């Protein structure tokens, strides 16, 4: 639901083989902000069976679901998680047992997506900077990596993410604004972007320090979207040059886990 582009939303919907996919919005991280819910319906209701779940409002409004949350979520083709405060969101989900419901949805093959907090939540660890100094947060642990968003929009996050990885956080992925990581189960299938030139990075600890590797990214606009068709089985684009950006901290350990990446070149 980017304000100036539908490229990422269109890409996500293209993954669903249904004429009118069932899409449910979780605006928990924003405190169920009304304007966010309205923006969701404006974007998705014309082509989808759209609904939302509010944990903070008694009056759900049109399309809202108040009871039987688990069966409703498990019947969706796509669950879209909004941005905001990932710490508050995860706390609210756990209080309502939605964390377990979302894990079950993932195992069933429901497409899970979202920007900002809606990206951080799926990983084992993430960097949150919504209030105060950036800090590590434990996510739902569906993806066995760490995640850092707004890598170019909030430059201080880069140094903090490197510090956390050097101090023992799992290695993982950092993304600039407008960039999305597409995983199939725990395998990175490709990296796509709604902004020309924007990209993602693999960030890993090594005995010599933290290494940042720029990943090939497919721009979805203009004719570039044609290059984002699924790659042939086993095809793999080589990452671009790695940069060693920070020294290894004493006492830190290399804890990254391997991933088979298939980023598509623009």
Catalytic residues: 116, 150
Per-residue b or e along 223-250, where b marks 16 or more CB atoms closer than 10 Å to that residue's CB: ebbeebeebeeeeebeeeeeeeebebee
CB-based contacts of 102, cutoff 8 Å, min separation 6: 73, 79, 93, 112, 140
* Dihedral (Cα; 250, 253, 258, 263), 10-degree rounding: -30
């Amino acid at each position: 639901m980017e304000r100036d582009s539908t490229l990422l939303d269109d890409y996500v919907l293209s993954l669903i083989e249904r004429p009118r996919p069932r899409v449910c919005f979780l605006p928990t991280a924003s405190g169920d902000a009304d304007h966010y819910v309205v923006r969701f319906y404006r974007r998705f209701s014309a082509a989808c069976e759209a609904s939302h779940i509010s944990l903070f409002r008694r009056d759900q409004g049109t399309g809202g679901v108040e009871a039987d949350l688990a069966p409703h979520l498990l019947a969706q083709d796509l669950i879209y998680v909004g941005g905001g405060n990932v710490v508050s969101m995860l706390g609210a989900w756990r209080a309502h047992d939605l964390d377990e419901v979302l894990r079950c949805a993932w195992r069933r093959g429901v497409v899970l997506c979202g920007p900002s907090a809606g990206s951080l939540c799926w990983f084992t660890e993430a960097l949150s900077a919504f209030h105060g100094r950036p800090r590590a947060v434990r996510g739902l642990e569906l993806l066995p990596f760490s995640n850092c968003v707004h890598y170019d929009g909030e430059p201080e996050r880069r140094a903090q993410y490197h510090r956390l990885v050097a101090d023992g956080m799992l290695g993982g992925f950092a993304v600039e604004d407008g960039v999305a990581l597409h995983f199939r189960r725990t395998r990175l299938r490709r990296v796509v972007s709604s902004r020309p030139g924007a990209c993602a990075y693999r960030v890993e600890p090594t005995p010599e320090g933290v290494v940042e590797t720029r990943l090939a990214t497919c721009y979805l606009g203009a004719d570039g979207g044609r290059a984002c068709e699924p790659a042939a089985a086993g095809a793999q684009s080589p990452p671009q040059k790695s940069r060693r950006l920070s020294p290894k901290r004493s006492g830190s350990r290399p804890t990254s886990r391997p991933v088979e990446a298939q980023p598509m070149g623009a």
